[in-house]
Structure 1
Amino acid sequence: MKTSQWHLKIGQSLTLTIKKMGINGEGIGYWRNHVIFVPQVLPGEIATIEITHIAPNYLRGRLIKLKKTSPHRNLQPSVLAKQVGGLELAHLLYPQQLSYKQAMLHEALRHFRPRGWQKYHIQPTIGMNDPWHYRNKAQFPIRIVNGKLICGLFKPGSHTIVDCLEMPTQGSLTLSILQRLVPLIQSFNLPIYQPESNSGILKTLVVRENPSTNQAQLTFITNSWKLPQKRALIAAIHQKIPEVISIAQNFNPGTTSLIWGTDTKILWGQSHLIETIGKIQFQLSPAAFFQLNLTQTEKLYQVVQQMLNPRPTDTIVDAYAGVGTIGLSLAAQVQTVIGSEISSAAVRDANANAELNHLTNAHYECGRTAQLYPQWLQRGLQPSAVIVDPPRTGLEPEFLQFLNQSHLSKIIYLSCNPSTWARDLRTLSQVYHIQTIQPVDMFPQTPHVESVTLLKRRRSSKQSNRNFE
Structure 2
Amino acid sequence: MKARQKKQDHDIQLKQGQTIPVTIKRLGINGEGVGYYKRKVIFVKGALPGEEVIAEITKPSANHAEANLKKIQKKSQDRVNPPCSIYEQCGGCQLQHLSYEKQLEEKKDIVRQAFERHTNLNPNQLPLKNTIGMNEPWNYRNKSQLQAGKQDDKVIVGLYGEGSHKLIDLSDCMVQHPATNNVTDVVKGILEDLNIPIYNERKRTGVIRTVVTRVGFKTGEIQLVLVTAQKEIPKKELLLEEIKNRLPEVTSVIQNINDKKTSLIFGDESVHLHGKEKISEKLGPISFELSDRAFFQLNPAQTVKLYNAAKRAAKLTGEEKIVDAYCGVGTIGLWLAENAKEIRGMDVIPAAIEDANRNAESHNVKNYKYVVGKAEEWLPKWVKEGWKPDVIVVDPPRTGCDDMFLKTVKKVKSKRFVYVSCNPSTLAKDVQQLLKAGYKLESLQPVDMFPHTAHVEVVASLSLK
Asked if the contact 2:221–2:280 (Cα under 8 Å) also holds between the matched residues in 1, the reply is no
Partners of 1:76 and 1:442 in 2: CA distance: 19
State whether structure 2 residue 342 is matched by structure 1 residue 333: no
- Residue 36 of structure 1 deviates from its aligned partner by 1.9
What does 1:244-263 align with in structure 2 at a 5 Å threshold?
244-263=250-269
- In 2, the alpha carbon distance for the partners of 1:397 and 1:14 equals 42
Match of 2:221 in 1: 215
SS of aligned partner of 1:207: strand
- CA offset digits 1:118-152 (Å, max 9, x no partner): 53210100000011111100000010012221111
The answer to whether the 8 A contact 2:226-2:255 is kept is yes
What secondary structure, in the 3-state scheme, does the structure 2 residue paired with 1:74 have? coil
Separation in 2 of the partners of 1:59 and 1:116?
28
| SS state at 1:79 partner | coil
Does 2:455 match 1:448?
Answer: yes
**Aligned 1:329-368 pairs, distance under 5 A:** 329-368=335-374
Matched, 1:306 2:315: no
- More moved, 244-253 vs 352-361: 352-361
Q: Does 1:318 align with 2:324?
A: yes
- Do 1:206 and 1:219's aligned partners in 2 also have CA atoms closer than 8 Å? yes
Question: Please, which of 170, 179, 196 is the counterpart of residue 164 of structure 1?
Answer: 170
**Aligned partner of residue 83 in structure 1, secondary structure:** helix
1:243 aligns with 2:249: yes
Question: Secondary structure, in 3 states, of the residue corresponding to 2:34?
Answer: strand
Unpaired runs of 5+ residues, structure 1, are 459-469
SS at match of 2:86: helix
The letter for the 2-side match of 1:174 is T
Deviation of residue 279 (structure 1)?
A: 1.4
Check whether the contact 1:219–1:250 (CA below 8 A) recurs between aligned residues. Answer: yes
- The answer as to 2:274 corresponding to 1:268 is yes
Which letter does structure 1 place at the counterpart of 2:446? P
Q: What's the TM-score, normalizing by structure 2?
A: 0.94
- Aligned pairs for 1:277-316 (under 5 A) are 277-316=283-322
State yes or no: 1:104 paired with 2:135.
no
1:414 has 2:425 as partner: no
2:440 maps to 433
State the alpha-carbon separation in 2 of the partners of residues 444 and 174 from structure 1. 18
> What is the correspondence of 1:43-122 to structure 2 with a 5 Å cutoff?
43-114=49-120, 118-122=124-128
1:398 and 2:377 aligned? no
Q: Shift in Å at residue 265 of structure 1?
A: 0.9
1:155-211 deviation digits (Å, cap 9, x = unpaired): 122221101122111111100111222112111111011112110001110000113
User: Aligned pair 1:175/2:172, yes or no?
Assistant: no
Deviates more, 1:75-84 or 1:173-182: 75-84
Measured against aligned partners, the alpha-carbon deviations of 1:298-328 in whole angstroms (never above 9, x if no partner) come to 0111112222232333211111111110001
Q: TM-score, normalised by structure 1?
A: 0.93
3-state secondary structure, aligned to 1:104: helix
Distance 1:123 1:399, change over 3 A: same
Q: How many residues align?
A: 455
Q: Distance in 2 between matches of 1:112 and 1:167?
A: 35
2: CA distance, partners of 1:439 / 1:17: 27
In structure 2, how many angstroms separate the alpha carbons of the residues matched to 1:169 and 1:208? 14
1:114·1:429 contact (CA, 8 Å) conserved in 2?
A: no
State the Cα RMSD in Å: 1.7
Report deviation, 1:398: 2.8
1:395·1:424 contact (CA, 8 Å) conserved in 2? Answer: yes
SS in 1 for 2:90: coil
Relative to structure 1, the CA distance from residue 226 to residue 435 in structure 2 (aligned partners, 3 Å threshold; closer, same or farther) is same
Taking the aligned partners of 1:116 and 1:365, their CA distance within structure 2 comes to 39
Gaps of 5+ in 2: 1-9
3-state secondary structure, aligned to 1:99: helix
State how far apart, in whole Å, the 2-side matches of 1:114 and 1:452 are.
Answer: 19
* Shift in CA distance, 254/406, structure 1 to aligned 2, threshold 3 Å: closer
Q: Say which SS state the counterpart of residue 252 (structure 2) adopts.
A: strand
Change (3 A) 1:5 1:382: closer
Which amino acid in the other structure matches residue 113 of structure 1? T
1-structure distance, mates of 2:383, 2:55: 58
> How far is 1:8 from its partner?
4.2
* Separation of aligned partners in 2, 1:314 and 1:15: 56
For 2:50, give the aligned amino acid: G
Q: Which residue among 453, 458, 464 is the counterpart of 1:457?
A: 464
2:236 to 208, 230, 234: 230
Q: Is the 1:394–1:420 contact (alpha carbons within 8 Å) kept by the matching residues of 2?
A: yes
Distance 2:13 2:448 in 1: 41
1:365-376 equivalent positions in 2, closer than 5 A: 365-376=371-382
- Who is 1:465 aligned against? none
How far apart, CA to CA, are the structure 2 residues paired with 1:341 and 1:12? 49
What letter is aligned with 2:67? G
Q: Is the 8 A contact 1:409 1:456 kept in 2?
A: yes
Distance 1:5 1:185 in 2: 56
**In structure 2, distance between residues paired with 1:200 and 1:112:** 46
Q: Tell me how far apart the structure 2 counterparts of residues 372 and 163 of structure 1 sit (CA, whole Å).
A: 44
Q: Do 2:93 and 2:452's aligned partners in 1 also have CA atoms closer than 8 Å?
A: yes
8 A contact 1:173–1:211 mirrored in 2: no
Instruction: Report the residue type matching 2:80 in the other structure.
Output: N
> How far, CA to CA, are the matches of 1:111 and 1:35 in structure 2?
15
Cα deviation, residue 345, structure 1: 1.6
Q: Please say if residues 137 and 209 of structure 1, whose CA atoms lie closer than 8 Å, have aligned partners that are also in contact.
A: yes
SS of 1:317's equivalent in the other structure is strand
**Do the aligned partners of 1:322 and 1:346 also contact (CA within 8 Å) in 2?**
yes
**1:387 corresponds to which residue?**
393
Percentage of identical aligned residues: 39
Q: Structure 1 counterpart of 2:374, which letter? A: R
**In structure 1, distance between residues paired with 2:359 and 2:386:** 26
Partner of 1:168: helix, strand, or coil?
Answer: coil
Correspondence for 1:154: 160
**Cα drift, residue 379 of structure 1:** 1.2
Change (3 A) 1:211 1:400: closer
